[in-house]
Amino acid sequence: MADDPCPCGGGEPFDRCCGRFLGGAAVPETAEALMRSRYAAYVRQNIAYLKETLWPKHQDGFDELETARWAAENHWTGLRVLATEKGAKGDREGTVLFEARYLSGGTLRTHRELSRFRKKAGRWYYAEAVPE
C-alpha cells in the first residue's frame, strides 16, 4: 500500500507523495500540494487530516461523521488540477481549480471546485470553495 501510486495523480508512490503529509511527517509547502493531499485523504478516508487542514475557524463546525460517510460511500477514480493561482511557498493565499472524479451509486460523477487556500503560521489550510 505504501508503494502504491499516490491517488493524487502526482506520479510518486503514496509514501513519498501525500502519505508523508497524511502521516504527519511533513506539511505541504504549496496550496496545490495541500489540495492534492486532501483528495488523497478522501480516498484513504483520513478524516482527521481533512479536519486538521481546514481553516481553523471552520474546524469546530466540521461534521466528521458525515464526511466519513461521504468518503466511504464513493469510489474515487481520479483528480485533475485545471489551474492554480498563487499558492506558492512564499504566498499567503492561493486558489486551485480541480476536478475530482468518483463513482456514486454506479454513476461516474465529477466534483469541480475552485478552492481558496490560506496560510497561517507557515502552514497551508483549505479556507473555502469560491464561485468560478
pLDDT confidence of residue 75 = 94
Strand duo 107-120 + 123-130: pairing: antiparallel
Q: What pTM was computed for the model?
A: 0.95
First to last CA, the chain: 36
The answer to whether the Cα torsion of 34, 57, 41, 101 is positive or negative is negative
Alpha carbon distance 129, 81 (integer Å): 15
Contact 67, 54 (CB under 8 A): no
pLDDT confidence of residue 59 = 96
CATH T-level assignment (fold) for domain 14-130: Nuclear Transport Factor 2; Chain: A, (3.10.450)
Alpha carbon distance 100, 92 (integer Å): 25
pLDDT class for 132, splitting at 50, 70, 90? Answer: confident
* Sheet of 123-130, strands arranged across: 75-86, 93-104, 107-120, 123-130
Q: Which three cell numbers stand for residue 102?
A: 468518483
pLDDT of 10-69, one tens digit each?
999 999 999 999 999 999 999 999 999 999 999 999 999 999 999 999 999 999 999 999
pLDDT confidence of residue 103 = 96
Contact 1, 14 (CB under 8 A): yes
pLDDT confidence of residue 112 = 97
Largest Cα separation within the chain, whole Å, is: 42
Residue 2 scores a pLDDT above 80: no
pLDDT confidence of residue 1 = 59
pLDDT of 68-124, one tens digit each?
999 999 999 999 999 999 999 999 999 999 999 999 999 999 999 999 999 999 999
pLDDT confidence of residue 122 = 94
Give the containing element (helix H, strand E) for 52: helix 47-52
